[in-house]
Each structure stands twice: as structure tokens, then as C-alpha cells.
Amino acid sequence: MQKKHKNAIKLGSGILIAALTVWLTFKNTDWAALKSAFSSARWGYVLLVIPALASSYVFRVYRWVTLLAPLKNVKKTVAAPPLLTGFMLNSILPGRLGEFARSALLSRSTGIPFVSSFATVVVARLFDGLALTGLTLVVMTAMWDSLAKAVRGGLVAAGCGYIAILFILIALRKWHEATARVLVFPMRKLHFDKAAARIEKMLLDFATGLDVLKDPAEMLKVSALTAGVWLSLCVSVVPVFYALEMPWNWFYPPLILVLAGFGMLIPTPGGAGTVHYAIGVLFPAITGIPESQAKALAILFHATQFIPVIIAGLLVSKGNIKLDDN
């Protein structure tokens, strides 16, 4: 009951944040201009989002199978349903709960320990973070003179944070026992010995899911697949500009993904509200695009990125429900 209560609080908090950010995004909207942007939209271009978006998930499946290989050879057809189900849950629930569900579903179908399975998800997400860092650097290079110092500092700090986490994970894999002891050392100093012992064991189990980090060739393969994920996502943004007949520069798609990524850091269901604010308010402030067009872009981008994933997740979740029953 306590767990259900906490989940209800998280869901309620996420919905409240989403409602607040939706209100902040659209409170001063020129509704006539927004309606005009949609009424003149060329909807056929929206269909071009689907193959590019689907390609990004194909790359994700291949990457996850590669990360799982040191633990067990998992077929792509086995890895795909948990991955899609996880992303579907991320698209409708706050707090990235789909990552835990994805790991649990794969563990039940393959026998891989949950903690080890979850470690591979963490590594995949870390590579996504590094990819976003790379996209951020690209955008910063293209727009350096127009970015405020605070924005530059925040983007650089975020990139450094991802790199620091990568080094910690590499250290945990290479010197797992020593690194685990160092990480729990402050707890032992505070005499939380039982909690420290439990966390140290979890870290050691977690380290078994990081085996790919010890092999440079496998890391290179994972990096290439991650590049495929994010290049596909960049391509998936372009048809939205064409659909709304908006002018765009080559660095706008990565900028949209970077802003959406920051919006997703705030736990709302599927980034609702926060992603709209990031694109509908921050994007025009950075680029000078009319705000009504940017808000139309935010709505259409969010819908085209999340609705197909929700549909795909629902289509495969029936098999996952049967898995739970077994």
C-alpha cells in the first residue's frame, strides 16, 4: 500500500506540474495565429516522421541487445517488446518508470537478474545523455554569439555531469569492488553499516551489467548505434517544420531535441507541459521564430514523437501482460 501511495503522489505531482507548465506556455497565446498555423498545415509531411522515428527505435533495440550480450545472447524479437513497453510507459507516466518496467520484463523473459538488466538501461541512457551533450555542443557552436552566458554555463555543466557519470561507471566496471567501497564510504563513516552493505552489494550486482564498458570495440559499436538513434530523431523533426511551413536552419532539429531533453528532466507524464514550454517559449526566445509558430511546433512535435510510441507499446504490451501472468 505504501508503494502505491508513493506512486500516486508521483503521478499527482507530475500531473500538477504538467498543468502548470501548460498554463505558463499558453497563457498569452495568440489563439487566432495558432489556429491559422494548424489550418494551413500540410499534414502529409507528418507521415514522414514515422519511418525516421521507427528507425530510431530499431537502433535502440540493436543497442540494447549489444549491451546485454556480455550477460546473455538476447534475440532482438525478445528485447523489442520490453523496450517499446518501457518507452510507452515513459510517454504516459512521470518519473521514467518505464525504465524499471522494461528491465523487469526482460528479466522475467530471459532470467537475467533485474539489477544487471537495469544497469544496461542506465548505460543506454548515459550514452543518450552523451549524445545530447554532443548535440548541445553543435548547437552552441552554431549559436554561440546569441546565447546568454547563463545558458552557456548550464549547457556546459550538463555535459560535464554526463561525462563524470560515465567515468564513475567505467571505474565501477574496471575496479568494481574498490569503486563500490569508495561510493559507500561516506555511509560507513556515518555508521550506516547495514545500509552501506546492501548498497555495496547492489553496486556489485549492477557492475555485472556494465561488461560492455570494458571492451573498446563494443563501446564503439554502442556509440555508433547511439549516433544512429539521434540522427534518426533529428531527421524525424524535419517533417514537422515542413508540415507547418516554418523556416528552419540545419541546427534547429538538434536544438529542438536538446530543449525537449531538458524538458523531460522534469517528471511530468511524457514531458507534457515541460516539453511544450521548452519548445513553445524557449525556442522562439533563442531563435526569434514567432511564438505562435513555435507553440504549434511544440504541439505537433510532442504528438508525433509520443503518440506512435504509445500505440506501438500498447500493441506489444498484451504479450508482456501474459508474461507477467506466467
Mapping DSSP onto H, E and C, the string for 49-118 reads HHHHHHHHHHHHHHHHHHHHCCCCCCCHHHHHHHHHHHHHHHHHCCCCHHHHHHHHHHHHHHCCCHHHHH
At residue 324, does pLDDT exceed 50? no
Report helix angle 291-325 to 216-243, nearest 10: 130
pTM (predicted TM-score): 0.80
Residue 243 reports pLDDT greater than 60: yes
Residues 282 and 104: their CA atoms lie apart, in Å, by 37
Contacts of 133 (CB under 8 A, 6+ apart): 158, 159, 162, 163
Q: Could you tell me if 73 and 305 are in contact, meaning their C-beta atoms sit under 8 angstroms apart?
A: no
Q: Rounded to an integer, what distance in angstroms lies between the CA atom of residue 72 and that of residue 74?
A: 6
Mean pLDDT of 199-212: 70
Q: pLDDT band at 192, cuts 50/70/90?
A: confident
Cα–Cα distances (Å) from 98 to 56, 84, 184, 223, in that order, read: 18, 9, 27, 23
DSSP state of 280: I
Lowest mean pLDDT among 52-66, 187-201, 246-260, 300-314: 187-201
Output the average pLDDT for the chain. 84
- Residue-wise pLDDT tens digits, 151-181: 667 667 766 776 777 677 777 767 767 887 8
What single letter denotes the amino acid at residue 189? K
Rounded to 5°, the CA angle 67-68-71 comes to 130
Q: From CA 269, how far away is CA 36, in angstroms rounded?
A: 28
At residue 321, what is the residue type?
A: I
Spell out the domain ranges in the chain: 2-18+32-145+205-325
Q: Which pLDDT score is estimated for 11?
A: 67
Q: What angle do CA 262, 267, 271 make, to 5 degrees?
A: 60
Q: Is the dihedral of CA 44, 303, 137, 87 positive or negative?
A: negative
Q: Are 90 and 99 in contact (CB under 8 A)?
A: yes
| Grid cell of 243 as nine digits | 508540415
Q: Look at 208 and 34; give whichever has higher pLDDT.
A: 34
pLDDT in tens, 231-242: 999 999 999 999
Joined together, the cell numbers standing for residue 64 give: 540494447
d(CA 174, CA 178): 9
Confidence at 270, pLDDT banded by 50, 70, 90: confident
Lowest mean per-residue pLDDT among 56-65, 262-271, 276-285: 262-271
In this structure, are residues 67 and 120 in contact, taking their beta carbons and an 8 Å threshold?
Answer: yes
CA 242 to chain centre: 25
| Percentage, residues of the chain above pLDDT 90 | 37
- Is pLDDT of 19 > 60? yes
